[in-house]
Amino acid sequence: MKVLLAMSGGVDSSVAGAVLLDEGHEVVGVTMKLWGGESDTGCCSVSDVDDARRVAQQLGIDHLVFNFTEDFNTHVVDPYVQAHTVGVTPNPCIECNRHLKFARLSERATTLGFDAVATGHHTRIGTDAAGVRRIARGADPAKDQSYVVHMLDQRELARTMFPIGGMTKADVRARAAQIGLRTAAKPDSQDVCFIGATTGRQVFLGSRIPFRSAVVRDLDGFEIGSVGAVELVTIGQRRGLDLGGAVGRRYVVDVDPVGGVVTVGNDADLYVGSLQVSNVTWGDAPIEGDVLVQCSAHGDPHAANLDADGLLHWQEPQRRISPGQSVVFYDLTDTFVLGGGIAA
């Protein structure tokens, strides 16, 4: 099979290439140039591209670079900035997966005559009891990335491969060291590629949108403080609030950037019995009923009942989820991804 392998310059995609070659596939590596600005973090730095190229040489495969910066700005960066102006906390890495690392890459792969695309994600593709192809959790629970690729549908699953999904991270590093790959000990990338590690979100957003101050009120409506940039405030936040010496821990329970109001309460005030989910996509047919729900990349799944309108009713009250965060539905065995959407 002719496979186009997305190579980020990290150890996972490096070993994915080795596994594919061992399986007898014809492999070509590709690194996607996504962020056109300065980068000292994430997977878009010049050094990462160089690492990917050098690993491809070690593996004896061709290496390409695709420039998707325009698509990245349109589908990831611009929406990220806009979301903060309306009180939404987006997940740019998931949108990058949705629009670039799978949809756009798969489109290009088809044009170039490849049979499949592969990535170094720690997840698997399996079939459920009904024989339906599904995203399944990776073999390493600590590194499972099924949450971040939940948007793949049947068409994409049919031509996508996750070569290291059945390996632990320790296995991956051991394999990389065994065959002498330069990325064997390279640390994992954890940050958003367009947000500088030294400058942070405040500097990035501040250069693109004007910050607006807001008053902080308690649940009784009394003004107890202020914030200098309502665009940087998110649900559940405790630090960075000027509450004028208010007693006790206070958490953000609501953000109204239009009205210029941040509402805070106690920890107990963060717990709710339901969650509305919008923009739901499914791995196959839509599903209603009891599901397990994960609301962050490495969060614990919680039981809920999902209705036809995307309203989740938690089995037990859960902390509020910031609007814009991804909400992923798993089957009751906590094995297969059913679908997912965005917290409204």
By annotation, the residues acting in catalysis are 96, 193
DSSP state of 312: E
Task: Compute the Cα dihedral for 107, 108, 113, 118 and give only its sign.
Answer: negative
AA letter at 74:
T
Q: Residue with structure tokens 């990389």?
A: 176
Nearest C-alpha neighbor of 65 from the set 36, 89, 99:
36
The whole-angstrom separation of Cα 83 and Cα 290 is: 31
Please name the residue that has the structure tokens 């330069």.
182
* Backbone φ, ψ for residue 35 (5° rounding): -95, 125
The token duo for 310 is 């995307």
Residues sharing a CB contact under 8 Å with residue 204, sequence separation 6 or more, in sequence order? 194, 195, 196
Half-sphere exposure of 332 (CA within 13 A, CB side): 8
How would you class 202 by CB atoms within 10 Å of its CB: exposed for 0-12, middle for 13-18, buried for 19 or more? middle
Q: Hey, what are 57's tokens?
A: 């040489």
